[in-house]
Structure 1
Amino acid sequence: MPILSLPMYDIDHASTRRLTATLTTLLAQRDVQADVEWHDDLLPHWRDDNLLLSQTCGYPLAELLPEVQLVGAFHSVAPGCKDLRYRSWLVVRGEEAHRTLADFYDRRAVCNSADSHSGYNALRYVIAPLAVQGRFFRETLFSGSHRASLTALREQQADIAAIDCITWALLRRYAPQALAGLEIIGETPLCAALPLITSRKTDALLMEKLRSVLFELTMDDKYRPLLDACLIGGFAVPQRSFFDEVKKWEAQAAAYGVTRL
């Protein structure tokens, strides 16, 4: 059975389940059946030949998933987003809200994972001009998720993190306690939004049905309350090269001698 999953912004699981249920209903109307699954180990999930629809990060798409096909991307209405682009907020504990990014030289960073654009690649990009001999942070902790990175900040295990602005907005709405005691001191530039993907084995007709479902979802007013709950404003189909921007950020950091956090 084809697999459908939306793992990247599952902050309010009830909203995410309503979204995936709506997608499976719209697909069934086009004679396409799909099972909704939830995965913690995402790379094998994204590489599964049975994958009908999932969401990944632009960095894995560009670097680790050459075989998957691009379906498109959601336009988010979260603060910090514009069109098909999003950014990360630079987040610290409240008592350090008066500081700038440069003040965190030789301090401790935390990020969700090394294959994350918003948590790792974007942070590396903005610290690169400030680095000394290829180094800026004293150490970098890997937390496993943006939410866990925020916990690490609050518990003083690290001092600064780059947090996806959509994740931040969803947490503010559904779990504001996760942001307690934390403040934004800066931002990264805008970059390509998270791509929606499908298996290399998805044929042209099935791809057409997938995109038809996503356009209907985002253009029919009856789904607006659901989309508002998920901060989704629209859907578009950019060229795959749109997501190559993440590699340019990596290359520009390397030009400063910074290849890792």
Structure 2
Amino acid sequence: MPIISLPMYDIHHPTTLGLTSALTTLLTQRGLQAEVEWPIALLPHWRDDKLLLSQTCGYPLVALLPDVQLVGAFQSSAQGCEGLRYRSWLVARKEDENLTLSDYRGRRAVCNSDDSHSGYNSLRYVIAPLASAGNFFSETLLSGSHRQSLAALREQRADIAAIDCITWALLRAHYPEELSGLEIIGETPLCAALPLITSLKTDAETLAHLRSALSELTTSKKYQQLLAQSLISGFSVPERAFYDEVQAWEDQAAEQGVTAL
């Protein structure tokens, strides 16, 4: 059976369950049956031929998933988002709230993973002009998730992180204790919002039904409370070239000698 999932902003699981339930209902109304999946390993999930709908990050889309089809992207009402773009907040402990990014030379960074745009690619992009011989931080810890990166900051195992602004807003709404003692000290530029994808094997008619269901989800009054809880304010279908800027950030950092954090 085809599978769907919304793994990227599953901060408040009951809300994510509500979204996936609404989507399966809307897809059923269009003659599409799907099973909700909660993947642990995301790359195999995104590459699954049975994938009807999932959400990935812009960096895997351009670097690791050349064969998936772009369905579209959600717009977000979270602070830091504009239209189909979002940014990362540069986050540190409150004791360092008056520092700027340049003050973190030789200190410790933490990132969720090295295939993340919001946590890794965007941080690499903003430190590149400040780096010397390709280096800026003394070390970089890979935590596994934005929430674990925030824990590393709180526990003084690292000093700075780039945190997806939507994740930050959802944590502030549902788990504010995870932001305790932390402050935003800066921000990255805006970049393309997280893409919704489907398998290359999804036919054109099914793709049209997917986009129709997502449009109804984000415009029907029936789902407005659910959308507000998810900070989703709309759905749009950009060209795949919209995500070229994600690759451009990596390329520009490399031109300045920074290929890794």
TM-score category, normalised to shorter length = over 0.9
Q: Is 2:207 the counterpart of 1:207?
A: yes
Question: How do residues 63-78 of structure 1 correspond to structure 2 at under 5 angstroms?
Answer: 63-78=63-78
- The one-character-per-residue Cα deviations of 1:80-139 (angstroms, maximum 9, x if unpaired) are 000000000000000000100000000000000000000000000000000011100000
- The one-character-per-residue Cα deviations of 1:55-76 (angstroms, maximum 9, x if unpaired) are 0000000000001000000000
Amino acid at match of 2:107: R
Question: How do residues 19-168 of structure 1 correspond to structure 2 at under 5 angstroms?
Answer: 19-168=19-168
CA distance in 1, matches of 2:4, 2:225: 21
Q: Is 2:170 the counterpart of 1:170?
A: yes
CA distance in 2, matches of 1:131, 1:12: 37
Return the TM-score normalized by structure 1. Answer: 1.00
CA distance in 2, matches of 1:18, 1:216: 15
SS of 1:233's partner is strand
SS of 2:122's partner is helix
Structure 1 runs (4+) deviating above 6 angstroms are none
CA distance in 1, matches of 2:197, 2:126: 28
Amino acid at match of 2:249: W
Amino acid at match of 1:120: Y
Q: CA deviation at 1:140?
A: 0.2
Q: CA deviation at 1:142?
A: 0.2
- The one-character-per-residue Cα deviations of 1:30-83 (angstroms, maximum 9, x if unpaired) are 110000010111000000000000000000000000010000000000000000
SS of 1:185's partner is strand
SS of 1:197's partner is strand
CA distance in 1, matches of 2:169, 2:76: 10
> How many residues are matched?
261
Amino acid at match of 1:159: D
CA distance in 2, matches of 1:161, 1:29: 43
Q: CA deviation at 1:255?
A: 0.9
Please provide the CA RMSD for this pair: 0.4
CA distance in 1, matches of 2:220, 2:36: 22
CA distance in 2, matches of 1:2, 1:17: 17
- The one-character-per-residue Cα deviations of 1:1-39 (angstroms, maximum 9, x if unpaired) are 000000000000000000000000000011100000101
SS of 1:71's partner is strand
Q: CA deviation at 1:243?
A: 0.6
CA distance in 2, matches of 1:223, 1:14: 14
SS of 2:70's partner is strand
Return the TM-score normalized by structure 2. Answer: 1.00
Name the structure 2 match of 1:246. Answer: 246
SS of 1:72's partner is strand
Q: CA deviation at 1:221?
A: 1.5
Q: CA deviation at 1:222?
A: 1.6
CA distance in 2, matches of 1:29, 1:246: 35
Q: CA deviation at 1:155?
A: 0.4
Amino acid at match of 1:169: A
Structure 1 residue runs of 5 or longer lacking an equivalent are none
Q: CA deviation at 1:220?
A: 1.0
CA distance in 2, matches of 1:123, 1:185: 13
Name the structure 2 match of 1:229. Answer: 229
SS of 1:128's partner is helix
